[in-house]
Amino acid sequence: MGLDFIAESAEARRLFELADTTTGLPISKLCAEGPLERLTDTEVAQPAVVTTSLAALAVLTEHLSLEPQAVAGHSVGELAAYVAAGVFEAESALTLVNARAQAMAAVCKRVDGSMAAVIGLDEAPLRDACAAASHNGSSVQLANLNAPGNLIVSGARDAIERLATLAREAGARRILPLNVGGPFHSVYMQPVSERLQQATATIKFRQARVPVVLNATAEATRDPATLRDELLVQVYSPVRWIATLHRLVELGCDRFLEIGPGQVLSGLVRRTLPDVKVASFGAMADLPAVRALLS
């Protein structure tokens, strides 16, 4: 992951080296060699994704003139979006993602939780099913509103099992357990907010150059204080990705570029906004498609 960026760009190499130093983990080596089981650990996966996204952004800016009309990032990707908008530098994003990942990993060790995708059920009945499945101190809630008919729930394993039964009764076609480290974007992640509050206090937040559409509210802002508060709230709040994409359209966006590893977000854009143009940049081979999108 990110190997061709390292080969292409001195700045990309610097970012991976900085990730190693900031986290105290061999992020560069794990991205290059694995093993996959270690790379997908929460404390490694989040810095790895952000580092690769920042390296991709650095390479793109060396090859193209990027002038986004607005930006957004999904979950931990919001940190890379802040860098793209000039809210803070890459070094600050790596400091914050390390604090976020370490705090989340600590929660995952204490809480027997997970996430699941619910296919074919609308938001309102799924919220009702989550409420009915949450009791006796064991809860499940909506975590990611990714695309129409593709919603993610998060919480305690026993609550997710109860939710699966209720969701099927409400008309869900499938409930797919996700291979994740814990109950992300749920109430169980509230302790992470306290750790991030300490970390963000050391970071200078600038006014964003372009609007940033926030995960927790799907509102657009350039305000430094609001951007700081968002990072504290989004870790235990649902990612409102469907509403985020529609907000970007309202801001005038008709071309969407996913920067970073994978093409999951590109797929979500196509499902939610079938009339817009989309491309992704996760490897050097993607550069011609990006040029075509921006031309």
Question: Using CA atoms, how far apart are residues 93 and 18, in angstroms rounded to an integer?
Answer: 11
Contact indicator for 153, 222 with CB cutoff of 8 Å: no
Q: Which of 255, 270, 253 is nearest to 211 (CA)?
A: 253
Residue 158: exposure state from Cβ atoms within 10 A (0-12, 13-18, ≥19): middle
Question: Using CA atoms, how far apart are residues 38 and 265, in angstroms rounded to an integer?
Answer: 23
Question: Using CA atoms, how far apart are residues 102 and 123, in angstroms rounded to an integer?
Answer: 31
Contact indicator for 209, 85 with CB cutoff of 8 Å: yes
Taking only Cα atoms into account, the Rg of the chain, rounded to an integer number of angstroms, comes to: 19
User: What amino acid positions are annotated as catalytic residues?
Assistant: 75, 185
